[in-house]
Structure 1
Amino acid sequence: MTAIVGVDPSLTAAGIAILNDPKSAETPNVPRLLTVGESGRKGATLTERATRVGRQYELILRSMPPAVRLVVIEAVPVHNPSPNMASLYQERAALVLRLVEFLAKRGIPVVDVNLSTLKLFATGNGRADKTEVIASMASLWPHANIKNDNEGDALSLASMGAQFLGWHEPELPHHYAPKVDWTGVKR
């Protein structure tokens, strides 16, 4: 059974959503949602930070099913949105790049989606707050047990991928043609 995986990357609480191909999934096709991660500590050394990135990388990869068709991941902003949190920004970027490298070496396409596009797809508003994204995804996937905003974001990302591949039809006007670069993804 093939799957699409949505990833909201974080070291503390990465959200992961797994959508199975509806041709072989059980009915109803309930997304598998999980959150993995661990708290860091202020003043961690470079080695401790790098090791934490490695542990999170492994947790995320172990959560993925064996037959992944596509991974849609929340993009790391081009510029650090919070200069006071530079080390967290570096760690998140390192995590994303490690994940993308691993998947690319195995021929699994990875697409990144910026946060505004994720919110626009989920709610119709690119500036929506976390609760609005969760509510929209709960409406789209009524059988899903969304425990937090990380899982809501991940489910939005996986839903985008599923609609791009034709696994599911767009339900609302803002689901049509999100601004995503699908280069390298075969339908």
Structure 2
Amino acid sequence: MIAVGLDPSLTCTGLAIFDTEGGVITRRVRTPNIGTSLLARRQRMRRALDGVLTNVPARVDVTLIEVPNAAKQHGAHGERMALYWWLVDQMFARGRVVEVAPKSRAKLATGNGNAGKDDVVAFTRAAFPDVRIPDDNVADAVGLAWAGARWAGIPTPEYSPMQQQAFDRLAWPARTAPIV
């Protein structure tokens, strides 16, 4: 069984893979700004997409991906949304996909939907002391993959009641749904 968590970003996408055979793997996919031309922006998004896809198995049981925060006023919203949709499309080709709102992502990891990035990092490091969690991008991905692993039946640390509440509110696919 394989569960993937993705925290997509134009600068540093967080990736976590929970695998019953390989344990927990984390990665950061860094994509520096290479310019503002249309071609440069497209190349940056392609590098982010390719960096994720080269690290994710061809078949997964479920991927949880954070939806970009529409309230963020800085950054390139169009490019962030494009990267999100490219990743959603490619992850559907590998298995089931569940989208997670930013507050739900924080609540899954900590039990508090208003938890800050430092809290998410601290909580995921405490829950998974043997897993490499270098920053908030990976911590977010670990929190997402943790939920996916629970759904897929991969043994994980127990959830608090508030984490379980966030888990239960996600739009989970049917277990019998075909992988497209």
Mapping for residues 133-148 of structure 1, pairs under 5 Å: 133-148=120-135
Could you tell me how far 1:121 is from its partner in structure 2?
1.6
Corresponding residue to 2:30 among 37, 42, 48: 37
Aligned equivalents of 2:175, 2:165: Cα separation in 1: 15
Using the TM superposition, name which of 173-182 and 108-117 deviates more: 173-182
Aligned match for 1:72, one of 43, 46, 64: 64
What amino acid sits opposite 1:81 in the alignment?
A: K
Q: 5+ residue gaps in structure 2?
A: none
The amino acid that maps onto 1:130 is K
Range with greater deviation from structure 2 (133-142 or 166-175): 166-175
Residue 1 of structure 2 is aligned to residue 7 of structure 1:
no
Report the CA distance between 1:139 and its aligned residue. Answer: 1.5
* 1:92 pairs with 2:69: no
- For 1:54, the equivalent position in structure 2 comes to 46
Shift of 1:125: 1.3
Match in the other structure for 1:154: 141
Change (3 A) 1:92 1:186: farther
1:166: how far off? 2.5
In structure 2, the CA distance between the partners of 1:182 and 1:108, relative to structure 1 (3 Å rule), is: same
Distance 1:173 1:7 in 2: 24
Q: Which amino acid aligns with 2:140?
A: D
Q: Structure 1 residue runs of 4+, over 6 Å off?
A: none
Identity of matched residues, %: 30
Aligned equivalents of 2:44, 2:176: Cα separation in 1: 34
Residues 124 and 115 of structure 1: is their aligned pair in 2 closer, same or farther, counting only changes over 3 Å? same
- What is the rounded CA distance, in whole Å, between the counterparts of 1:112 and 1:44 in structure 2? 29
Q: Report the counterpart of residue 81 of structure 1 in structure 2.
A: 72
TM-score scaled by structure 1?
0.84
Task: Please give the TM-score of this superposition, normalised by the length of structure 2.
Answer: 0.87
State the aligned residue count. Answer: 174
- Which position in structure 1 is the counterpart of 2:114? 127
Distance 1:183 1:137, change over 3 A: same
The Cα shift of 1:183 comes to: 3.0
Deviation (angstroms), 1:56? 1.1
1:11–1:183 Cα change, 3 Å: same
